[in-house]
Structure formats: C-alpha cells, structure tokens
Amino acid sequence: MTERLDLAGRRLVLALSGGIACYKSAELLRLMVKAGAEVHVVMTAGAQRFITAETMQALSGHPVATDIWDARTADLMPHIHLTRDADAILIAPASADAIAALAQGRADDLLSLLCLARPWGVGAQPVPLLIAPAMNREMWAHPATQRNVAQVQSDGAQVLGVGSGLQACGEVGEGRMLEPEAILDELIAALSPKPLRGRRVLITAGPTFEAMDPVRGITNLSSGKMGFALARAAWEAGAEVRLVAGPVHVPTPQGVGRVHVQSAEQMLAAVMQEVVQLGPGDVFIATAAVADWRPATLATQKIKKERRGDDTPSNVPSLVMVENPDILASVAALPVPPYCVGFAAESEKLLEHARAKLVRKKVPLIVANLGPATFGRDDNAVLLVDAERAQPLPADGTPTDKLTLARALVAEVARRLPGSRSQ
Ligand code: C5P
C-alpha cells in the first residue's frame, strides 16, 4: 500500500515560542515533513533557549527564521515572504506571552509580526492561523490568558485545545500542548474542505461482544478501522461527530466524541440516546458488525466445567440464542430519521445483496464490500449502492487505505444530503 501524503504540496510555517513543549515541536515538524509538506520554521528568542535552530533546520531542510532584521532576506521583509504563499501558519508551542502579543496586535518579534502581516481576509485569500497553546495550568486558567485566547479567536485564529495531566513543572492540570500527532490531525483538518459543516454525524463501529457469563462471550473479527476512519473523515469535513463503538483497539480520532459499548443491546441504547440530537439533514452511518444473535441467558457466575467421578464431562452447555435488535433499521424507522448509510459485508453477489438490504432496512445508501477481504485490513474498495445506481469507490475499483476511502465516502454522502451545496 502506498503511503498517504496528507500535506503534499502544502507550504506551511511552523512558529515556535518559548516553552518546554518546544522539544515536541521537533517531532511535530518531522511528522509534517513526512506528510509531504514544505515547512519553514520561525523561532522566537525564547524558543531557542529550549531547542536549537539547527535541529529545526536539519529536520525541515530550510534555514530557520529568527529575526525581523534577517540580513539573508535582501529586502528585510521575512514577514512578507513567509506568509504570502503559505497555506497555513501554525504556532506550536504558543506561550502565554505569544498569545498576548497576538491579542494586542504587537509586531516586535518575527512571530507576532508575521501573524499580523499574514493575509487574513481583507485582500488575498486568508491564510489560516492555528495556535497550539502550552503553559503551566495557572497561566492557562488565568483570566488574562483566557481573555487573550478569546480575542485571538474572534480575530480569526483557530485555537486548538490543550492537554491535561502532569506538567513539566510537576503540577497536574490543563495547559499541556497537544501531542504532535493530534496537532498534525488538526492541521490536516483545517486544510480540508468542509462539506459537512453544521451537520451532525453519528457512527457505529467495531464488533459487539455478546456475553454468556462474566468471562466469556461471542464476538467477531471486525477491527473498527473503517468506522473510525469515517469518524475522522466526517470530523475533517466539518461535522460534529459521535462514535458508538464496541470493543476495539483503535485510538479515538481527534475531535470525535466516543461512547464505549459491548453488546448489541447497549449499542442500540446508546444510539437511541444520541440520535435524538440528529435532524433530517444529519447523518447516521452504521459500520458496526453487530452480532445477529446473543445467548438467550446470561449466567451471573462463571459457568464451571463439571466432571463425573470417572472424569467424563457432565455439563457441556448448549447455547440457546435469541435475535439481536437491528440498530440501522430501528434508526431508519424513526418518524424523522437522519440520512442513513448501511454497510453490507458479503462474500458474493455484492450488488444483489446490497439492493435487498437497501429495501429491507429502508435506507437510501448501502456501502457494500467483500467481508472476508476487508475485516482487519488497512485497505478496502467498496460499491456504493442507492435506489438508482451502483458506483465503485475508488472509481477504478483498486483497494486504497481506509482513510482515503472514508474521505471519498464522506464527500459522496455530503453530496446526497438535503440542502447540500456540494451536488
Ligand atoms: O443485516 P446485516 O448485518 O447484513 O446488515 C449490515 C448493516 O446493518 C450494517 O450497516 C450494520 O452496521 C447494520 N446492522 C445493525 N444492527 C444489526 C445488524 C446490522 O445496525 N443488528
């Protein structure tokens, strides 16, 4: 499988202000470059007390800009050259002082100067400004900092969240810089088209686990990867995303709210609780491999193996099963359902089975794939089936990684929504 280059062709500015989180910015830079971006680094004097400009030059492959009066720029205008054809500016870490400088519109160091000088909306296409704050918890919670954060947001910057936990100073609380992977995901999302802006998307993912006693149960081989990729793609597309997931080992995507469940009945209850937030312009995507049946009874204690005196087994249990609720059909049957998308994992006759499912579950769109070929894998190819036509995705039918596929699928779903402008 070819590596995805989510930032290919992007020209980005990574600006570092002073803070111990600077050591993480080296890793962030490496991730940005690995994702295909051309990155130009700017460092304040404070940042250079924590890591060297040489480190960032070596990782970016470009000289690091540190000074308004940089003699290497013939016209002494690094703030103009750095910002005019940038796709985004990212400040990570953004210290309390750097944020205060932006809030005041100061321009006495290269970082604040280039943020003020960036195209922001009057003339040229605005250059997005992302800010990843990093500071001690008292500094972060201080009304002055919160006032400054609100100010830079209302001036058009996107302020990312902060992490919570043990801080370099030994105190515990909110104010840590987000991890480099999370910042990278935020950056990719900030540069993505937003066909789902203002919409809510609810997704089920993973297998269910149907218990027979406190330590045993029945499950399946669904990894949850497709549902989690869809959650990420929908978030990138601007939706507010909730993910109801069975037991899986996939990290929750950045920006996505997750509910953990085990059984089909718990999944249904969680979905019904979430779905009340959704209107007809919102989306429900059922990717979960819900167990069709569950054991009819749940033993309260572990079922013990018993033996007769001659060591022959005396209690081999026989499983009596009952049918599980159909979550997708239940949502589709609501008086005002969201736009419902189902998945069909088949082993043959994809189109025929998908059409039958479309009718039986009363949903407008089924995503059909070959089950054994996709479970647990990182790539996939699907067939989108609606009442009129069937469309392979990717168009040439060649399997692609699940996030690329999820992004294409989200674009297709967005195009079909009532009131969509991406028709
Ligand atoms: O009926 P079948 O399991 O083949 O249908 C698959 C689709 O229905 C998937 O979208 C799956 O998430 C959903 N489904 C469900 N609840 C069930 C069974 C399937 O939501 N009990």
Residue 204 CB–ligand 1 contact under 6 Å? yes
With beta carbons less than 8 A apart as the criterion, state whether 196 and 239 touch: yes
Per-residue pLDDT tens digits for 139-176: 999 999 999 999 999 999 999 999 999 999 899 999 99
Q: Which of 244, 327, 339, 365 to mutate to test the pocket of ligand 1 (most atoms within 8 A of CB)?
A: 327
Residues of the chain within CATH 3.40.50.10300 domain(s) are: 200-298+314-416
Q: Which of 328, 347, 363, 384 to mutate to test the pocket of ligand 1 (most atoms within 8 A of CB)?
A: 328
Q: Any idea which architecture 200-298+314-416 has in CATH?
A: 3-Layer(aba) Sandwich (3.40)
Q: Which of 226, 290, 382, 383 to mutate to test the pocket of ligand 1 (most atoms within 8 A of CB)?
A: 290
Residues of the chain within CATH 3.40.50.1950 domain(s) are: 11-190
Per-residue pLDDT tens digits for 18-30: 999 999 999 999 9
Per-residue pLDDT tens digits for 257-270: 999 999 999 999 99
Calculate mean pLDDT across residues 66-91.
90
Residue in 365, 327, 323, 367 with CA at minimum distance from that of residue 346? 367
CA atoms in the 13 A half-sphere facing the CB of 359: 6
Known catalytic residue: 169?
yes
Per-residue pLDDT tens digits for 301-339: 999 888 888 888 888 888 899 999 999 999 999 999 999
- In this structure, which residue's CA is closest to atom 5 in ligand 1? 344
CA of 289 to the centre of ligand 1 (A): 6
- Of 22, 115, 169, 340, the active-site residue reads 169
Calculate mean pLDDT across residues 120-143.
94
CA of 360 to the centre of ligand 1 (A): 11
Pairing of strands 240-245, 293-295: unpaired
Domain 11-190 has CATH 3.40.50.1950: yes
Residue 342 CB–ligand 1 contact under 6 Å? yes
In this model, does residue 1 exceed pLDDT 60?
no
Output the pLDDT for position 422: 61
Nearby residues of 388 by Cβ (< 8 Å), 6 or more positions away: none
CA of 325 to the centre of ligand 1 (A): 9
Vertex 112: Cα angle to 107 and 115 (nearest 5): 110
Q: What's the whole-model pTM score?
A: 0.95
